[in-house]
């Protein structure tokens, strides 16, 4: 969906949207599509590219803040859709950091069961939670899903180090206030727009620029590396301006910063894996490259990992 149509809905101009966010287009799910539908398609694509049958999957981990419904877990719906009947399934909700959190959970599970395979999926349908009366937030949101098959890899490849952190004192910066046990759905919550995404844009920007660069520096040290050794930086894609600001502040002087915000917008926890997949499909990642993934957002939370690239699938 291009900026022209979104601009009409929010009372802005296409030029303003691109200038302020660098976003030119985004994908929105069809009216009959939900998070599990997008997640299942991403899972099937990942399984096909890995040459793995769904029946071999032991764990299905779904990161979503926009699941089909409060219960059952969206992961169970994906499991049913792809016929991964042997898998244990669960959701995680860490907003835009979710994919990295999912990878770390998969890694922990595989340390106990090295023969197992996990399917880590991020899937978001934020268009259903966009408040078109709040043009500064609504123009940022997109829908999408991405998935990865995770298994044990040769020593020295895959994830080298992970850093997960949370700041619950900043929870008010980014939220969907209603629909849970504290503020159940009612006429009042619907009328007030409390079921839509609400964001303090400046507060989020300040949080990211203050908190994410130190996390990245700490992570790279934990991996036994120097920051100038990182070849690729794959950050969450909140908006193009903030991606540029973070890249400049990150200290990753030799890393190529990968971007997809221009064509996908902000897809929540799907942004990091979508951007990684985009770089891989374009042939930008080579064997032995060092790749840093960084998710950050609602919670507030940060999840980052360094991996050594060893596959081209």
Q: Do 177 and 194 contact (CB within 8 A), yes or no?
A: yes
**Tally of domains in the chain:** 2
What's residue 152's pLDDT?
A: 95
Quick one: 128 and 181 in the same domain?
A: no
Angle (CA) 103 236 91, round 5°: 40
d(CA 225, CA 142): 35
Residues involved in catalysis = 96, 236, 266
Burial class (CB in 10 A: 0-12, 13-18, 19+), 118: buried
In this structure, are strands 118-125 and 59-63 parallel, antiparallel, or unpaired?
A: parallel
Residue 171 maps to a domain:
yes
Predicted pLDDT at 170: 98
Phi-psi label, residue 268: left if phi above 0, alpha if psi -120 to 50, beta otherwise: left
What predicted TM-score, i.e. pTM, was given to this entire model? 0.96
Q: Please provide residue 218's backbone torsions phi and psi, each rounded to the nearest 5 degrees.
A: -65, -40
Buried b (16+ CB within 10 A) or exposed e, 180-190: eeeeeeeeeee
CA dist., res. 86 & res. 233, Å (int): 35
> Do 113 and 175 share a domain, yes or no?
no
Is residue 290 within 8 A of residue 157, CB to CB? The reply is no
Among 46, 28, 44, 21, smallest CA distance to 280 is for 46
Q: Is 94 part of a structural domain of the chain?
A: yes
Q: What pLDDT was estimated at residue 253?
A: 86
**Domain final residue pick, 150, 180, 196:** 150
For residue 313, tell me if it sits in a domain. Answer: no
Q: Are residues 125 and 169 in the same domain?
A: no
Q: What is the pLDDT of residue 312?
A: 54
Q: What is the largest CA-CA distance in the chain?
A: 56
Q: Name the domain boundary from 115, 150, 185.
A: 150
Token pair recorded at residue 206: 């300040």
Token pair in block for residue 248: 């400049």
Task: Output the domain CATH number for residue 290.
Answer: 3.40.47.10
DSSP per position, 14-58: HHHHHHHH---B-----TT--HHHHHHHHHHHHHHHHT--GGG--
134 torsion bin: left (phi>0), alpha (psi -120 to 50), beta (else): beta
Do 131 and 162 reside in the same domain of the chain?
A: no
Averaged pLDDT in 10-residue chunks for the chain of 313 residues: 92 95 97 99 98 98 98 98 98 98 98 98 98 95 98 96 98 96 96 96 97 98 96 98 96 94 98 98 97 98 98 58
Domain boundary among 150, 180, 205: 150
Domain limits for position 142: 3-150
According to DSSP, residue 139 is labeled: T
By CB atoms closer than 10 A (0-12, 13-18, 19+), residue 313 is exposed
């Amino acid at each position: 969906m291009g900026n022209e149509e979104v601009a009409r809905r929010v009372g802005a101009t296409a030029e303003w949207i691109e200038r302020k966010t660098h976003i030119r287009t985004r994908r929105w799910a069809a009216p009959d599509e939900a998070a599990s539908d997008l997640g299942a398609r991403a899972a099937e694509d990942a399984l096909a590219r890995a040459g793995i049958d769904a029946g071999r999957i032991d764990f299905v981990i779904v990161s979503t803040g926009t699941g089909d419904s409060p219960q059952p877990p969206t992961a169970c719906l994906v499991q049913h859709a792809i016929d991964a009947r042997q898998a244990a399934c669960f959701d995680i909700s860490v907003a835009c950091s979710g994919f990295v959190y999912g990878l770390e959970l998969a890694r922990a599970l595989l340390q106990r069961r090295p023969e197992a395979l996990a399917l880590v999926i991020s899937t978001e349908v934020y268009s259903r939670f966009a408040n078109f009366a709040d043009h500064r937030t609504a123009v940022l949101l997109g829908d999408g899903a991405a998935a990865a098959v995770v298994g044990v890899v040769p020593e020295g490849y895959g994830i080298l180090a992970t850093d997960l952190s949370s700041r619950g004192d900043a929870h008010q910066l980014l939220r969907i206030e209603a629909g849970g046990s504290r503020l159940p759905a009612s006429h009042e919550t619907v009328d007030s727009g409390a079921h839509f995404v609400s964001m303090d844009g400046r507060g989020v920007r300040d949080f990211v620029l203050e908190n994410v660069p130190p996390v990245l520096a700490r992570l790279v040290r934990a991996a036994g590396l120097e920051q100038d050794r990182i070849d690729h930086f794959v950050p969450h894609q909140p908006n193009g301006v903030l991606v540029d600001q973070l890249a400049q502040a990150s200290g990753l002087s030799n890393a190529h910063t990968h971007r997809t915000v221009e064509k996908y917008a902000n897809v929540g926890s799907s942004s990091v894996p979508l951007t990684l997949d985009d770089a891989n499909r374009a042939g930008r990642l080579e064997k032995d490259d060092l790749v840093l993934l960084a998710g950050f957002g609602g919670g507030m939370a940060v999840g980052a990992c360094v991996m050594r690239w060893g596959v081209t699938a």
